[in-house]
Amino acid sequence: MNVTMIGTGYVGLVTGACLAEVGNDVLCFDVDNAKIATLEDGRVPIHEPGLPEMIHRNVAAGRLRFTTDADAAVAHGTLQFIAVGTPPDEDGSADMKYVLTAARGIGQRMTEYKVIVDKSTVPVGTADRVRETIAKELETRGLKLPFAVVSNPEFLKEGAAVEDFMKPDRIVIGADDEHAVALLRAVYAPFQRSHDRLLVMDLRSAELTKYAANAMLATRISFMNELANLADTLDADIEHVRQGIGADPRIGYQFLYPGAGYGGSCFPKDVKALQFTAQQHGAPLQVLHAVETVNEAQKSRLIVKITGRLGDKLAGRKFALWGLAFKPNTDDMREAPSRTVVQGLIERGAEVVAYDPVAMDEAKRVLSDVRGLSYALSPLDAVAGCDGLVVVTEWKEFRSPDFAALKRRLRTPLVFDGRNLYDPALVRAAGLEYFGIGRR
Ligand SMILES: NC(=O)c1ccc[n+]([C@@H]2O[C@H](COP(=O)([O-])OP(=O)(O)OC[C@H]3O[C@@H](n4cnc5c(N)ncnc54)[C@H](O)[C@@H]3O)[C@@H](O)[C@H]2O)c1
For residue 139, the number of C-alpha atoms closer than 13 Å in the C-beta half-sphere is 6
Q: pLDDT category, 264, cuts 50, 70, 90? A: very high
Distance, CA of 398 to CA of 23 (rounded, Å): 39
- 6-46 tens-digit pLDDT: 999 999 999 999 999 999 999 999 999 999 999 999 999 99
**Ligand 1 midpoint to CA 191 (Å):** 22
Residues 393 and 325 sit within 8 Å (Cβ to Cβ): yes
| Beta bridge partner(s), residue 389 | 320, 415
**Mutation probe of ligand 1 site: the residue of 30, 69, 89, 272 with most atoms within 8 A of C-beta:** 30
Beta strand pairing status for 351-355 and 318-322? parallel
266 annotated active-site: yes
Best CA proximity match to 370, nearest among 402, 408, 333? 333
Query: How far is CA 172 from each of CA 80, 337, 369, rounded to the nearest angstrom?
Result: 17, 30, 41
Best CA proximity match to 96, nearest among 117, 53, 126? 126
pLDDT at 104: 98
Pick the residue whose CA is nearest to atom 10 on ligand 1.
120
Q: pLDDT category, 130, cuts 50, 70, 90? A: very high
**Ligand 1 midpoint to CA 99 (Å):** 9
Got the DSSP string for 172-209?
EEE-S-HHHHHHHHHHHGGG-SSS--EEEE-HHHHHHH
| Beta bridge partner(s), residue 114 | 147
**Ligand 1 midpoint to CA 119 (Å):** 9
Best CA proximity match to 295, nearest among 329, 322, 269? 269
Cβ–ligand 1 distance for 29 under 6 Å, the answer yes
**Mutation probe of ligand 1 site: the residue of 11, 89, 108, 214 with most atoms within 8 A of C-beta:** 11
Q: What is the DSSP letter of 95?
A: P
| pLDDT, the chain, mean | 97
pLDDT at 281: 96
Best CA proximity match to 155, nearest among 168, 144, 142, 145? 168
Give backbone dihedrals phi and psi of 410, rounded to 5 degrees, phi first. Answer: -70, 145
Residues 342 and 367 sit within 8 Å (Cβ to Cβ): yes
The stretch 324-332 carries a mean pLDDT of 96
Instruction: Provide the H-helix boundaries in 236-328.
Output: 238-246, 267-280, 286-298, 301-310
The stretch 57-73 carries a mean pLDDT of 98
Cβ–ligand 1 distance for 165 under 6 Å, the answer no
- 170-227 tens-digit pLDDT: 999 999 999 999 999 999 999 998 899 999 999 999 999 999 999 999 999 999 999 9
**Ligand 1 midpoint to CA 101 (Å):** 13
pLDDT at 193: 86
Contacts 24+ apart (CB under 8 A), 239-243: 239/420, 239/438, 239/439, 241/438
Give me the percent of the chain exceeding a pLDDT of 90. Answer: 99
